[in-house]
Structure 1
């Protein structure tokens, strides 16, 4: 990742030569369409890759009294995509014809001519590993959310009472407050300290702060 960012930030010098032996080239994309561009390129028969980060995003829909989360994938490196050509089968114009593509990153070769920049196979493999790791982390988070939701529906509180523990609280109109648990009030309510004021809320409205 650092090597790629160095290439992106560096100003090309005439003595530098692009790494193109692997056939992988750096595609410049319009903002927020990097993944769609990668899908479009693959549909057209190109070999394209866009490393992504997956994040649960709250929607305006509710289910069982709680906000519904959806998977939102975003490019790990905003504004960039990668495409591979077979040797002597370069089709830069075909890629640039795809909606959302601005062109190719270029660097100067030893003759001073600007040519499409490339990445080594090792660079691509590192990016693939980061992409896979990000997806595994996302799957683990979504699995935990599903388990927590099942426990909530079954009546089990998401957070066990612990005096002095800092937690997140669902506000009356969807706000996310932070408070400290003080004492239990019966079997289903908890007294908390928030902004120097004590409040009593249903246990179901209390969540782990890290979420």
Structure 2
């Protein structure tokens, strides 16, 4: 029986933990800037539930959990504003997830190409819609000690211009240059 109320019900809606969690999460999302309605299923759900719902829930863009934001970034059909917000996210997981989303615009991919995290740059280099100019710029800024996987992704992307591969071949480490030369041979260049 509820101790805070006079109604004598065994379990009232206001004392249900799921309802209380939904109310608390909705308030938290409104504090983070969400102006719309927050669905009860989303607001009361665990991280796993919210991640599953993230694809069709724009509110997931500002969810406190990086796991939920990453699920939205990876799978959602995002507006330009959502893409911008997720590209500036503090979590590298979220930025990397955005870089693999097939609907991410080339402008956002270009901004992610200078990300400090190697996994984000690697995902940009693999993305089929990354502009050739962005791939070329990536090829000129490879870190000699850490970016072998980025060089591999650049080399494997069919949109990579020959000039980018030649740059890697001429100025990259032995491993990076080997990857670029192999791709140049495969393309007949």
TM-score by length of 1: 0.25
TM-score by length of 2: 0.27
| Bigger relative contact order (CA 8 A; separation at least 6) | 1
The structure in which a higher percent of residues are helix is: 2
Q: Which has the larger radius of gyration?
A: 1
The structure in which a higher percent of residues are strand is: 1
